[in-house]
Structure 1
Amino acid sequence: MYLFLKYIIQENMIRIAIVEDERDCQLSLAEYLGRFGNENDKKFDIALFDDGMDITENYESRWDIIFMDIKMKHMDGMTAARKIREYDKAVIIIFITTMAKFAIKGYEVDALDFVLKPLKYPQFVDKMKKALSSLSRISEHKYLLLPVEDRKERVSTEQIMFIEVKGHNLYIVTEQGTYTMRYSISKLEKELTGYHFIRCNNSYLINLKNVTGVEKDIVMINENRIPISRTRKKQFLESLSNYLVGGYR
């Protein structure tokens, strides 16, 4: 089981979904992506969807960029984008529209931009460069694919306050809620190396970014009070001090 979604900038493969009910527009975008990739030494994994309903049904947080038509027959692009944002805060959404005024609502779903029909390659290049720049900034963070009912949700490590192990289950606590999954805390600790997570005892892995205080043998994260074990106290406090001195917050 591989818990993390390594961002595609590092893998040199960018996963793009085109959600468009006009076949000509679909093919033009796919052609432009191929041309742009050849000109800029980028590799794209492209999938085509004919309607917003198609991409949102059993949605998986695997896409890096989604080109989304606003007007579609069964589920319009704005509705689809809202559903996607319930599970995926990181994916870049670019709307496709015939009129710029239709894209204004894109701010409601944190859309990056829009492209106007009929598609023109120079305009497309500008949008892709903007998307790749945004993607590069996002890639500085690490994301976990965490189970939510019958699907996976992409969650930034920065959102995690702490992780607790009970038996064979991990409880990953964020301000938005708690995710539960079967996984090894030792493996997770190793995979989070470099992202400022450290154990304060055998059962808790703490995100130093979200520590709000330390009181004797207790680390505080908002209203949560977590014990610091005697054997781990020295290392934990040194790591917290180095983190604060380093100015990461």
Structure 2
Amino acid sequence: MINIGICDDELHYRSNIKDILKEILQPYHIEYNIYEFSSGEDLLDNYPKNLDILIMDIQMKIINGMDTARKIREFDNNLEIIFMTSFAEFMQEGYEVKAYRYILKPISERKISKNVLPCINEIMKNRNNYLTINVKNYVDRIKIDSITYVETARPNILIYTNDNIYTTKMSISKIEKILSEYGFFRCHNSYIVNLKLVKSMNGNTVVVNGKDIPISKYRVKDLKLAITNVLGDIVC
């Protein structure tokens, strides 16, 4: 089941997006729920459980979409946010709230399809994938989308998740090979980060879940490109 929210203060936009979603999802036989919200306040006051994707306008009254996203990120880091906007200058701010992609208005079936379908595919892929590691005398399985970053602490590897730390002797190169298919990047010989959880970059460090992680000077450019690729097409 995929739970999709539409937040826009104009009814005709909500109705149009809802109709487009029904049209593009029908051939894939995907089970889904669609929730509509007429404002940022409405969304925050009636936030659905397990919301997967939010298609949200940036220019809204009282609380705009960007400020709404900032409040959401205080309690939900898993939601994929797709912003709609008529102005490209808002796109830089999306980095702060880990926006998945942007859709420039006017919206169309092509634009919605181009952004929503890859997002759904990624969600479904991540739900069913685990990293299997050897921990002393037993095998453990870690849900890949729960991993925030990986750190070398010789002779061990530490794998950090939202609520746990796992220790294994698996090589970081082997872990890198597995995680690179799921939006992770090795920014330093000793660190692999979940690109979706990157809060900011400052010089030779990147912030992930409040942790300052070093970036090798030889990997700064590639990290920026990797973040762009994970966020998707900036102008659609």
1:85 alignment partner, one of 73, 78, 84: 73
| Counterpart-to-counterpart distance in 2, 1:22 and 1:196 | 42
Asked whether 1:46 is paired with 2:63, we answer no
| Counterpart-to-counterpart distance in 2, 1:46 and 1:39 | 17
| Counterpart-to-counterpart distance in 2, 1:126 and 1:245 | 34
Asked whether 1:195 is paired with 2:110, we answer no
| Counterpart-to-counterpart distance in 2, 1:43 and 1:130 | 16
* Cα deviation digits, residues 85-137 of structure 1 (max 9, x gap): 11111110000112222233111111011112221111111111231243245
Measure how far apart 1:18 and its partner are.
Answer: 0.6
Measure how far apart 1:141 and its partner are.
Answer: 5.8
Q: What is the root-mean-square deviation of aligned Cα atoms in Å?
A: 3.6
Q: Structure 1: state its 5+ residue gaps.
A: 1-12, 143-156, 158-192, 198-208, 215-219, 223-238
Q: Report the equivalent of 2:108.
A: 120
SS in 2 for 1:114: strand
- Whether the 8 Å contact between 2:152 and 2:172 is mirrored in structure 1 is no
| Counterpart-to-counterpart distance in 2, 1:23 and 1:124 | 17
The within-5 A match list for 1:165-244 is: 194-195=140-141, 212=153, 240=168
The within-5 A match list for 1:55-70 is: 55-57=43-45, 59=47, 62-70=50-58
| Counterpart-to-counterpart distance in 2, 1:112 and 1:45 | 19
Q: Structure 2: state its 5+ residue gaps.
A: 132-138, 144-149, 161-166, 177-236
Give the TM-score taking structure 2 as reference length.
0.55
SS in 2 for 1:48: strand
Asked which structure has the greater CA Rg, the reply is 1
Identity %: 28
1:96–1:38 Cα change, 3 Å: same
